[in-house]
């Protein structure tokens, strides 16, 4: 009986494969032998070059980690050092803008459109850090909490750049600060009869066309409210008294909202940013708030040639 050749893997001696002239590695599987084909020269040279590059990199650049730092490298380069240089250059550029903002009167800021744009961008960043907690990310405010909407064109104390800057600097009803914006609305609970209260609520709504007025409401308003809000409810920025005729409401526009405000007014407070933020940041915030859509022109500066930009370096 003839011997049957086994299949599978078995060790064999190395030999030269006749068709290719390549030495085998001595492995066979089901009649298939593995050839010891050498690596291509381009691959070997690439591999050698990576070794040379690695040696150069370890010597030239930070490479070996130590306890609190890495080896310095003979070139003295580091990613931290490069970042520090780039940040230093950025700081210098920002400082140049801040120096220019510090020198220019805020009334003249719109004359320099490029500087105004940079001030608005800086104010936007400062607003996100310091103001969104009350006024919201879109500066729309909140009627429930009494935070003004900064996007409309209704201003209690003035909406030009200088007025906004003053409000930011000194705050509103900031206790212990003599220069703060200050207004007080008395509580009319107990001072007015219920019928007078309902009548004056109706009169306030009638000023913006939301209800029918009455003679009693008009008289009650004239006797108790017109001194601050004006005879037609147009308001007064001198006292921070809101305009009641424009249908823009700080504390709500329902009869209940207005009744509650007449009887027990809720008075908001904004902190003064003087001492918390530097004057240039406050100026940038004023520029940003002014740019939101309701900012007003400052007309006095056109009549005051003494207000000039300090162009000295």
pLDDT tens digit sequence for 99-152: 999 999 999 999 999 999 999 999 999 999 999 999 999 999 998 888 999 999
- Does the annotation flag 135 for ligand binding? yes
Q: What is the pLDDT of residues 191-222, one digit of tens each?
A: 999 999 999 999 999 999 999 999 999 999 99
Using an 8 Å Cβ cutoff, are 150 and 142 in contact? no
Q: How many CB atoms lie within 10 A of CB 151?
A: 16
Half-sphere CA count of 252, side-chain side, radius 13 A:
14
How many helices (DSSP H) and strands (DSSP E) are in the chain?
A: 10, 3
pLDDT, averaged across the chain:
87
**Rounded mean pLDDT, 7-34:** 74
**Rounded mean pLDDT, 172-176:** 94
pTM for the whole structure: 0.68
Q: Which of 5-9, 106-110, 306-310 has the highest mean pLDDT?
A: 106-110
Confidence at 75, pLDDT banded by 50, 70, 90: confident
Q: Is pLDDT at 276 greater than 80 in this prediction?
A: yes
**Rounded mean pLDDT, 12-40:** 82
More confident residue, 4 or 250: 250
Q: Is pLDDT at 168 greater than 80 in this prediction?
A: yes
Q: How many CB atoms lie within 10 A of CB 81?
A: 11
pLDDT at 241 (0 to 100): 94
Using an 8 Å Cβ cutoff, are 181 and 173 in contact? yes
- Does the annotation flag 134 for ligand binding? yes
Confidence at 81, pLDDT banded by 50, 70, 90: confident
More confident residue, 135 or 74: 135
- Does the annotation flag 269 for ligand binding? no
- Does the annotation flag 225 for ligand binding? yes
Q: Which residue segments constitute the domains of the chain, with CATH numbers given?
A: 89-182+269-291 (1.10.760.10), 194-263 (1.10.760.10)
């Amino acid at each position: 009986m003839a011997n049957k050749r086994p299949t599978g893997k078995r060790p064999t001696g190395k030999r030269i494969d006749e068709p290719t002239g390549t030495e085998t590695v001595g492995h066979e599987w089901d009649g298939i032998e593995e050839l010891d084909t050498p690596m291509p020269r381009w691959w070997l040279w690439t591999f050698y070059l990576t070794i040379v590059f690695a040696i150069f990199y370890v010597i030239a650049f930070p490479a070996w980690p130590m306890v609190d730092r890495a080896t310095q490298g003979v070139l003295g380069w580091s990613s931290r050092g490069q970042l520090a240089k780039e940040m230093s250059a950025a700081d210098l550029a920002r400082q140049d803008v801040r120096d220019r903002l510090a020198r220019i009167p805020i009334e003249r800021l719109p004359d320099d459109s490029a500087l105004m744009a940079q001030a608005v961008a800086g104010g936007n960043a400062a607003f996100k850090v310091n103001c969104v907690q009350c006024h919201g990310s879109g500066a729309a405010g909140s009627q429930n909490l009494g935070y003004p909407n900064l996007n409309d064109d209704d201003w209690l104390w003035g909406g030009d750049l200088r007025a906004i800057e003053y409000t930011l600097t000194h705050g509103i009803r900031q206790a212990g600060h003599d220069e703060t914006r200050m207004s007080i609305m008395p509580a009319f609970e107990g001072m007015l009869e219920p019928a007078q209260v309902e009548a004056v609520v109706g009169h306030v709504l009638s000023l913006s066309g939301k209800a029918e007025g009455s003679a009693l409401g008009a008289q009650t308003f004239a006797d108790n409210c017109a001194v601050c809000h004006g005879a037609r409810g147009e308001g007064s920025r001198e006292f921070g008294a809101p305009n009641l005729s424009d249908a823009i409401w700080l504390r709500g526009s329902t009869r209940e909202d207005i009744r509650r405000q007449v009887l027990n007014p809720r008075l908001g407070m904004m902190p003064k940013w003087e001492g918390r933020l530097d004057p240039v940041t406050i100026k940038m915030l004023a520029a940003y708030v002014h740019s939101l859509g309701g900012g007003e022109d400052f007309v006095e500066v056109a009549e005051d040639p003494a207000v000039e930009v300090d162009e000295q370096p």
